[in-house]
A and B are shown apart, each in its own frame.
Chain A
Amino acid sequence: MKNPIHPAAASSQAFQIAEIRPIERLFEDDEGRDRLEKALSRYPEKRAALLPMLGYAQERNGWVSDESMEQIAGALDLTPAYVRSVATFYTMYNKHPVGRHFIQVCTCISCHLHEADEVFERFLAETGTRAGEVSEDGKYTVIEAECLGACGFATAVQVNDRYFENVTPDQIPAILDELD
C-alpha cells in the first residue's frame, strides 16, 4: 500500500498517471478499502464517492473497465448501469486502455490561434499513431482536448498529470524524449 493519505485528499488523487499498478479486485486489499472508507467519510451520501472511486480505478489500472464499474457499483449500492452513465459522461475516464503517456493537445480557441493544430499533427506523426489509438509499443496515445485552462501559454499540452506550456511543433521530439 502506498503511503496512507489524509482523508481530505482521498477525492483529489491524480488518476491519469504513467505508473499504473494493475489490480483486478479494487476493494479487496487494504489500499482499496482504505481509499473507499476515506472517501465515504467526506460525504453524507455514499453516491458522492463515485467520482473518487472511478478515479481510483483509473489510477490503478489506467482505465475504467466494465468490471471496475461493477465493483464500484457494488461498493456504493448503485446499479452498474448508473455507474456507467456517469463514467461515460466525463471525458477523463478512459473507457479503453490508453498509452502509458496519454498526450492531450489543447486545440481550443486560444491554442488554436497559435499552432495547436500543427502541434497535434506533429505529435501524431512523431508517435506514429492516429488520434486516440495506442502506439504499437504501448507508450503513447494522442488526443485533441477541449480547453485545458492554460490559454495564456498556448499551445498547452497535458501528458498524464503534467502540463507542457508554450509548446511549438519543433519542441515535440524533445518532449517525447523527456517522457521516456
Chain B
Amino acid sequence: MGYPYSHDLEVNTLLSRHFGDEKARTLEGWKELGGYATLPRALEMEPGAITEVVKESGLRGRGGAGFPTGVKWSFMPQEPTGPHYLCCNADESEPGAFKDREILRWVPHLLIEGCLIAARAIRAEHVYIYVRGEFFPFSRIVTDAVVEAYEAGYVGENILGSGWNCDVTVHIGAGAYIAGEETGLMSSLMGGRAEPWIKPPFPAQAGVFGRPTTVNNVETLAAVPMIVAEGADWYRQWGTEKSPGTKLWCCSGHLVRPGTYELPMGIALKDVIYDVCGGAPNGKKIKAVIPGGSSTAMLTADELDCEGTYEGMAEAGSALGTASPIVMDEDTNIVRAMRRIAQFYAHESCGQCVQCREGTSWTAQLLHRIERGEGSLSDIDTLYHLCEQMTGRTICPLADSVVFPLRSSLDKFRDEYEALIRC
C-alpha cells in the first residue's frame, strides 16, 4: 500500500509526509522524525495565545462543516469552573471518507500531540478519542501510542514537568454513523444511544458530562502541531484566503488510482479526479461525481471545473464536505447508486425524528421500486416531496444528507429515472 501516491502536482505533504513509514508509529521513531517538538513550546504559551495562532491560520474543521477551528475554541469559557473536555472525532463513517483512518494508522503520535495542544488551548484536562468500532486495527495503533506517550511522560500528570495534567482515553464506538455527529458522539460517549440533541446548549456551554466541550475532527487536530510550530502565515502559503492549508482528499469509486492524497486547498475538482486519480479506468467517461462524501450533491461530468474549497464547492451547488469524491463512470445506474446511498441513511437514522426515520426508509423503498421497473412517474413527485419534508426539520442533518444527493440526482438525471419507469 504505497502512501502517499506520487503525483505531478507540486505540494509539500504535511500531514501525510510519513504515511506508509512504519517508524512513524512508534514513539521513538516519531521523535526521530521530529515529533513532540511543539508540545513543550505550547506548554509555555498561554492557552489564549495557542487559540489565537490557530484562529489566524484560518484552519477550518475537517469533519465536513468547515467551521473555523480557532473560533470554535474561543467559545470555551476562559475561566474554568470545573472540568473541560476535548473530544477527538474519529468516528469517520461518511460513505466515501477514509482519510482519518490514514492518520490513525500511520501517525498516531501526531494526533496525540495535536490533541494535547488543543486541550491546552481550551483548558481541558481529559481528551477522549472516539474511534468508530469497526476501526479495530487502527484504534489498536492509537491505543498503543497513547500508552507509550503515558510512559514517556507526554500524557498524564505533570506533563514534561510543566505542572499541567492531561489524560487521554481511547473510546471505541460500536457501529453507529450518527455517533459522528458531535452531539451524537457525546451521547454515545456518556453511555447512551448515539442520539443527537438540539442545540443550544452548544457543546462549549454544556457538552459531554454537562461540561464545556470541544469536538474536533482527527484531521483538524493533526494539523494543529505544525501550525503552532510554524505559525499562521506559514500555513497560509497553501490554499486560499478563506480556505487555507492542505486537505486530505480521499477518492473512491471508478478511478484508476483511488486513495488518499494531501493536496492544497483550492485545487480544481477536475484536477483531483483526472490528474491525481487518473480518471475512470478502461478509458470510460465519467458520468457523475459526489464530491464531498455521500451526503453532498451530485455533480455531472460537465460541472467538475470548480475550486476545491468550502466556498468553491458551495458555489458549484455542492459541498466540499470531507473532500471524498465518489466517482461514477458512464455505465453506472444512477438510480441504483442513489438507492444504495438512501439505504445507508435509512439504516443509520437514529429514529428520533419522524421526518428522518420515515423519510429515509420511504426514500429507499421508492428508489428500490423504481430500480426494479415497478415505479410510476408520480413516484418522482413523491421523492421531491420527501426532499421538502426532510430538509431543515430535524434535530441533526442526517435527513438533509440524503436530500442533497437525491434531489441533485433527480434534477440532473431525471431521464434515467424515467427510462426505468417507462421500460
Contact = CB atoms under 8 A, between A and B. Distances in A.
A154 B254 CA distance: 10
Contact of B344 (A55, A146, A150, A152): A146
Interface in A94-117: 104, 107-110, 112-113
Given A12-B170, A52-B171, A113-B328, A90 B176 contact: yes
Given A149-B101, A152-B259, A51 B341 contact: no
B174 interface: yes
Contacts of A161: 136-137, 140
B172 A55 contact: yes
A148 interface: yes
B237 interface: no
A48 B190 contact: yes
B98 A9 contact: no
A25 B337 CA distance: 46
Contacts, number: 171
Interface in A134-180: 145-154, 158, 161-163
Greatest chain B CB density within 10 A among A15, A145, A146 is at A146
B101 A47 contact: no
Given A8-B147, A108-B95, A149-B93, A91 B190 contact: no
B96 interface: yes
A51 B171 CA distance: 9
B278 to A, nearest CB: 13
B250 interface: yes
A151 B170 contact: no
A91 B175 contact: yes
Interface in B104-159: 131-137, 139-140, 142-143, 146-147, 150, 155
Contacts of A15: 133, 174
Nearest to A45: B209
Contact of A50 (B94, B169, B191): B191
A2 interface: no
Nearest to A47: B191
Contacts of B344: 108-109, 146-147
B169 A42 contact: yes
B171 A6 contact: no
B252 A14 contact: no
B242 interface: no
A45 B126 CA distance: 14
Greatest chain A CB density within 10 A among B98, B290, B328 is at B98
Nearest to B176: A90
Interface of A: 6-9, 11-16, 42-45, 47-52, 54-55, 76, 85-86, 89-93, 104, 107-110, 112-113, 145-154, 158, 161-163
Given A89-B194, A151-B253, A161-B136, 12 more contacts: A12-B170, A15-B133, A48-B190, A51-B172, A90-B174, A90-B175, A93-B175, A147-B95, A149-B92, A149-B135, A162-B136, A162-B137
